[in-house]
Protein backbone atom coordinates (compact mmCIF):
# COMPACT_ATOMS: atom_id res chain seq x y z
CA UNK A 1 0.00 0.00 0.00
CA UNK A 2 1.04 3.48 -0.71
CA UNK A 3 1.89 5.80 2.09
CA UNK A 4 -0.80 8.45 2.30
CA UNK A 5 0.07 11.64 4.04
CA UNK A 6 -2.35 14.40 4.93
CA UNK A 7 -1.32 17.97 5.25
CA UNK A 8 -2.50 19.22 8.56
CA UNK A 9 -3.85 22.70 8.61
CA UNK A 10 -2.51 24.89 11.28
CA UNK A 11 -5.06 25.27 14.01
CA UNK A 12 -6.30 28.75 14.51
CA UNK A 13 -4.58 30.24 17.45
CA UNK A 14 -6.65 32.20 19.86
CA UNK A 15 -5.79 35.85 20.00
CA UNK A 16 -4.04 36.93 23.12
CA UNK A 17 -6.41 37.52 25.97
CA UNK A 18 -7.30 41.15 26.06
CA UNK A 19 -8.01 42.67 29.42
CA UNK A 20 -11.69 42.41 30.27
CA UNK A 21 -13.52 45.64 29.57
CA UNK A 22 -15.48 47.04 32.47
CA UNK A 23 -19.17 47.88 32.01
CA UNK A 24 -20.03 51.48 31.14
CA UNK A 25 -21.71 52.43 34.43
CA UNK A 26 -18.89 50.88 36.46
CA UNK A 27 -16.40 52.96 34.49
CA UNK A 28 -18.62 56.01 35.02
CA UNK A 29 -18.66 55.53 38.80
CA UNK A 30 -14.92 54.92 38.83
CA UNK A 31 -14.39 58.12 36.84
CA UNK A 32 -16.10 60.16 39.55
CA UNK A 33 -13.32 59.25 41.93
CA UNK A 34 -15.71 58.36 44.76
CA UNK A 35 -14.53 54.73 44.76
CA UNK A 36 -11.35 53.17 43.51
CA UNK A 37 -12.19 49.49 42.94
CA UNK A 38 -14.53 47.82 40.51
CA UNK A 39 -16.27 45.90 43.31
CA UNK A 40 -16.97 49.11 45.23
CA UNK A 41 -18.38 50.71 42.07
CA UNK A 42 -20.73 47.75 41.66
CA UNK A 43 -21.93 48.19 45.24
CA UNK A 44 -22.55 51.89 44.61
CA UNK A 45 -24.63 51.04 41.54
CA UNK A 46 -26.55 48.40 43.49
CA UNK A 47 -27.29 50.97 46.20
CA UNK A 48 -28.53 53.45 43.60
CA UNK A 49 -30.84 50.81 42.11
CA UNK A 50 -32.27 49.84 45.51
CA UNK A 51 -32.77 53.50 46.43
CA UNK A 52 -34.58 54.12 43.13
CA UNK A 53 -36.90 51.15 43.65
CA UNK A 54 -37.73 52.26 47.20
CA UNK A 55 -38.38 55.82 46.04
CA UNK A 56 -40.70 54.59 43.25
CA UNK A 57 -42.60 52.39 45.73
CA UNK A 58 -43.04 55.29 48.16
CA UNK A 59 -44.25 57.65 45.43
CA UNK A 60 -46.74 55.10 44.11
CA UNK A 61 -47.96 54.37 47.64
CA UNK A 62 -48.46 58.06 48.41
CA UNK A 63 -50.25 58.73 45.14
CA UNK A 64 -52.61 55.81 45.67
CA UNK A 65 -53.44 56.98 49.21
CA UNK A 66 -53.93 60.64 48.27
CA UNK A 67 -56.34 60.03 45.41
CA UNK A 68 -59.65 59.79 47.22
CA UNK A 69 -61.76 60.19 44.10
CA UNK A 70 -62.58 56.95 42.34
CA UNK A 71 -61.72 56.60 38.70
CA UNK A 72 -65.33 56.08 37.59
CA UNK A 73 -68.30 57.28 39.58
CA UNK A 74 -71.56 55.45 39.05
CA UNK A 75 -74.50 57.60 38.03
CA UNK A 76 -76.95 57.99 40.91
CA UNK A 77 -80.48 56.73 40.24
CA UNK A 78 -82.06 59.02 42.83
CA UNK A 79 -81.50 62.34 41.03
CA UNK A 80 -82.10 61.87 37.30
CA UNK A 81 -82.84 65.58 36.81
CA UNK A 82 -79.12 66.32 37.18
CA UNK A 83 -78.24 64.40 34.02
CA UNK A 84 -79.56 64.60 30.46
CA UNK A 85 -82.68 62.57 29.76
CA UNK A 86 -80.95 60.49 27.10
CA UNK A 87 -79.07 58.63 29.85
CA UNK A 88 -82.22 57.40 31.57
CA UNK A 89 -84.99 55.03 30.74
CA UNK A 90 -88.29 54.92 32.55
CA UNK A 91 -87.84 53.42 35.99
CA UNK A 92 -84.51 55.11 36.65
CA UNK A 93 -82.17 52.66 34.88
CA UNK A 94 -78.95 54.29 33.71
CA UNK A 95 -78.36 53.13 30.16
CA UNK A 96 -76.56 55.44 27.75
CA UNK A 97 -78.35 55.61 24.42
CA UNK A 98 -75.79 56.15 21.67
CA UNK A 99 -76.49 58.24 18.65
CA UNK A 100 -78.72 60.85 20.28
Split into its structural domains, the chain has a count of 1
Report yes or no on 93 lying in a domain: no
User: Do residues 97 and 86 touch, judged by C-beta distance below 8 A?
Assistant: yes
Report yes or no on 76 lying in a domain: no
Report yes or no on 85 lying in a domain: no
Count Cβ neighbours within 10 Å for each residue of 9-39 and write b for 16 or more, e otherwise: eeeeeeeeeeeeeeeeebeebbeeeeeeeee
pLDDT digits (tens, 9 = 90+) for 8-50: 766 666 666 677 889 999 999 999 999 999 999 999 999 999 9
Q: Please state the pTM of the whole predicted model.
A: 0.49
- Give the separation between CA 77 and CA 36, rounded to whole angstroms: 69
Report yes or no on 34 lying in a domain: yes
Report yes or no on 77 lying in a domain: no
Amino acid sequence: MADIQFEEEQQQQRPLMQPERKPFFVRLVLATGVVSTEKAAEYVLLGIAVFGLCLAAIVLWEVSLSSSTPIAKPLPNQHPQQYPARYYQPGGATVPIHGT
